[in-house]
Each structure stands twice: as C-alpha cells, then as structure tokens.
Amino acid sequence: MTTEATHDDLVRRVKTLSERLWEGHCKAPDIDAWLSNFDGRHSTDLATEQLHALHLLASVSYFGLRELRVLLRAMFRDCFRYPIVQRLRADLGGTRDAAEVETRFASELAATRFIGMGNPAESGTHLLYYFRQENRLPRTLFVHQHELLTSAVTDPAVDFADPNLKRVVFIDDLCGSGEQSVQYSRTLLRDLRNVASRRSRALEFQYLVLFGTISGLERAEAESDFDHVDAVSELDDTYHTYGINSRVFRKPPDGIDKVVSEAIARAYGSELWPDCPLGYDDDALLLAFHHNVPDNTLPILWYEEGQPPWIAAFPRRPKIY
C-alpha cells in the first residue's frame, strides 16, 4: 500500500470516528485545518509529517458524555458503594439482611461529602454535576471546599460544618502523574487533617478518578496523604504512545514509524510547550473527554496558542499560561 493510500484510509477513519464516537469533533474541515500546522520543517517532507500526524489523530481514545455518565455510575458503585457495603456486612457478621445493610449504608452516605479535585473551573468540579445526576444523590452531599469548615483553618475555634461528617471524597477524571494528589496533600488535605486532629475527629479522605495511569496511581498511594485511592479504569504502559509496548504502534499502517512519529511530535511539542513537549510529565497520552482534554495528552492535539496560533484538533480548556 502506498503512503497516499494510507493517508486516505486514515482520513476516512477519523471521519468515521468523528461521526460515530467523537460527538462531531474533527470533521473534514477540522482535519485539514489541524494538518495545516504540520509544514514539513521537522522531517524529510510535508507528506511524512502529515501522515504520522493523522495516525496519532486516528488513535485518540475519546470519551463522550454518554460514556462518561456510565463511568461515573461505575465509580460510585465500584469505588465507593461496594467497599462500604462489604465492610458493613463484615461488621454484621456476614449478614445477608439486605435491608439492614442498606439502612447502614444510607447513614454512611449521609456522612460523606463529595468534592471536585481542583478549583471550580477544572474538570473534577465539572464532573460532580453528572456524578450527582447519574447516581441520584442529594445536593446536600456536594459542597465547595470552603464549606467543609465553619471558619478559616487559622481560627482556633474552627470545626467541620457537619458534626456527623465521616469522609470526604475527592473526584477527578484522570490521575496521570499523581502530582495533583501530592500537591493536595501538602495544602488542603493537610489543613483538613489538622482540624480533624484538633477536634479529635477520625475522618477518611478518598481520591477517586475515572482513569489513572498505573504509575500515577502508585505515586498517589505512596506519596499522598489520602486514605484510599482508586480508579474506574487503569491505564497500563500500553497507553503511553511512545512506550515500548505502545498499542498505537503495535501494528502500524504502511509508512508509519514510531521513531519518526516521536521525533515529529517532540519537535512541534517543544515549540508549543517546551517543558513538556509530549504532554505533562511527558506521559504522551492520546486521551480526550467530552468536557476537556488532559494536558498529559500530546500537546500537538490540544494546544491553541502561539504566533501564529496552533490549530487544535481537540481544544483544551483551560489553556496553559
């Protein structure tokens, strides 16, 4: 097969993905606009660059709103409800009394507060709306970070707003490097634990994500101060585009070479985000969501700044500053 034929096959694949799975992202005009970013200056010729770019685009794993809603139901069921129910049954001597277990679970749920990871403009907080809808949870279980406490953490009289609070669950879409969980341990989580200690309160703090790289989850468990870390779906090393076991290059089309692809992605990525040319922590993911694109994904897919501006295939918000 010629590279021209491979090019045409990849374009058809992207168009099909756009129509059936990507909620209309990357229609024909968008493909052409994005490919115009690649002008041949980082490889032997223009055709080579655009062919390898198309292969990356056609390999994106996109999760639309419908898929995210299903995953959020799984998060509540598998990562939150089931572990509590198992413990309750064990506490009751392995009871099969479903009504008693459900009554006790309702009490545990009422003593829980769900919070989005990050500030109100970021993905974690955005997901809470759908998380509450899909699992039919009352609004009282969802609070802003500042609503957890009665006053500032520096106030000697500060306490938790809910005297019956048992656990706080932080929710996010992706644990990539694990960095955010570590940062939270040094800031908000540290302050909450200090207040709990001063008030002799035994509180549990959980970190639940839709997706997590194995290395990121391991770091969150080892270096953060969360009591429990879990993901609906774990991303193994095959999701790292240029890793040894990359699924993107397991059986590449004719004319596609991993070394060439990485060189192109890194060269353009260095112009867009010099510190992380392959995405945050150089994770080199090909992941996009209905509500946003993780910055662990290759910048050539989502970046939208610069002079002249780079045209994104999957625009990311917020942008890097």
Token pair, residue 302, equals 């989502």
In tens digits, what is the pLDDT along the chain, a chain of 321 residues?
Answer: 567 768 999 999 999 999 999 999 999 999 999 999 999 988 878 999 999 999 999 999 999 999 999 999 999 999 999 999 999 999 999 888 899 999 999 999 999 999 998 766 566 778 999 999 999 999 999 999 889 999 999 999 999 999 999 999 999 999 999 999 999 999 999 999 999 999 999 999 999 999 999 999 999 999 999 999 999 999 999 999 999 999 999 999 989 999 999 999 999 999 999 999 999 999 999 999 999 999 999 999 999 987 778 999 999 875 443
Predicted model pTM = 0.93
For residues 68, 72, 77, 80, the Cα torsion angle rounded to the nearest 10 degrees is 140
Q: Where are the beta strands (DSSP E) in the chain?
A: 61-63, 112-116, 167-175, 204-213, 228-235, 287-289
CA dist 131 and 33 (Å) reads: 35
Instruction: Tell me whether strands 61-63 and 287-289 are parallel, antiparallel or unpaired.
Output: parallel
Burial of residue 224 (number of CB atoms within 10 Å: 0-12, 13-18, 19+)? buried
Token pair, residue 74, equals 């799984």
The structural domains of the chain, with segments of one domain joined by +, span 3-59+242-302, 65-235
Strand partners, 61: 287
CATH of domain 65-235: 3.40.50
Cα Rg of the chain, angstroms: 23
Token pair, residue 125, equals 């907080």
